[in-house]
Amino acid sequence: MTTSLTLYDIPSTLPSKAWSPNIYKVRYVLNYKGLPHHTEWVEFPHIEGLYKRLGAQASDTKPDGVTPHYTLPLLHDHSTGALVSDSAAIARYLDKTYPETPSVIPKGTDTFHYAFNEALLSHFQVAALWRFLAKSNDILNPVSEEYNRRVREATLSGGQRLEDVVPKGEEKERAWAKLEEVFGKVDAWYGKGDRYVMGDVVSYADFTVSAWIMWFRTLFGVDSEEWKDVSRWHGGRWGALVKDLEKYETVL
């Protein structure tokens, strides 16, 4: 197959550069489908300029409901000219445009995938996952670190420094226990003995869950107690899922 796909991603100081769960969802899909592609790295403050240079449309707006919110991932399909943002929209586009590749949102499951993602994000909000996500600023390059800090501290943390948002000490223990509880509710969505959300068939829902789980390994480190905890939760489901999908993590 000869395709020409560019995935735009935000670099970090990690060896692979990749770190963002939302972008890893797309990387999983591309690699699972076996679609040739390459990654171009764009720092946070340069994302808006990228969209405008390419003529891409933002898939979301800022809280005012009017101002475009320019985010990554963004996929550029040079063979069709399509520019698609938002992880789920990209997955649907790739299923439709390359039907000869394995489907990640099987026919008849589109509504299920919408509902699954909304439910997952709702659970993450209950667990205040964003407080742990604030730690991601530690691995960004200086130009993105400054931008991300300025934006997040103004809009998300109520003016608090990002370092002060991340739970510590006894507060972290409570937050961590809440996170385990929330993932336990997600675990209950799976059928007894099922490997994936849809049984024995991998789907975009699994890539979504794995991308978020893998974030703990990326941010805290493979040898960290945090990653060991998460990978052991609920009978080792989450560590096994990430390990099973590891072959689709490759950064091209």
**Pair 23, 118 in one domain:** no
CB atoms within 10 A of CB 95: 20
The pLDDT of residue 1 is 53
Amino acid at 226: E
150 and 243 share one domain: yes
pLDDT in tens, 59-102: 889 888 899 999 999 999 999 999 999 999 999 999 999 999 99
Question: pTM of the entire structure?
Answer: 0.94
Report yes or no on 152 lying in a domain.
yes
* Alpha-carbon torsion angle 58, 59, 61, 66, nearest 10: 70
pLDDT at 3 over 70: no
My answer on whether 125 and 243 are in the same domain is yes
* 104 within a domain of the structure (yes/no): no
Which CATH number do you get for residue 24?
Answer: 3.40.30.10
Residue 127 has a pLDDT of 76
Let me know if 215 is exposed, middle or buried by CB neighbors in 10 A (0-12, 13-18, 19+): buried
- How many independent structural domains does the chain possess? 2
The CA distance from 86 to 11, in Å, is: 18
Q: Are residues 114 and 236 in the same domain?
A: yes
Looking at the fold, whether 79 and 138 belong to one and the same domain comes out as no
* Residue 34 reports pLDDT greater than 60: yes
Confirm if 26 and 7 have CB atoms less than 8 A apart. yes
Between 212 and 128, residue with greater pLDDT? 212
pLDDT for residue 2: 58
Shared domain check, 183 and 66: no
User: Which of 67, 97, 127 is where one domain is finished?
Assistant: 97
Tell me how far apart the alpha carbons of residues 197 and 140 are, in angstroms, rounded to a whole number. 32
Identify which has the larger pLDDT, 130 or 106. 106
pLDDT band at 242 (very low <50, low <70, confident <90, very high): very high
Share of the chain above pLDDT 70, in %: 98
Give yes or no: residues 28 and 122 share one domain. Answer: no
d(CA 171, CA 184) in angstroms, rounded, equals: 20
Range of the domain at 84: 5-97
- pLDDT confidence tier of residue 202, bands split at 50, 70 and 90: very high
Q: What is the pLDDT of residue 157?
A: 67
pLDDT of residue 82: 98
- Residue that terminates a domain, selected from 97, 117, 147: 97
Does one domain contain both 89 and 121?
A: no
Average pLDDT over residues 120-125: 89
Domain boundary among the residues 97, 127, 156 is at: 97
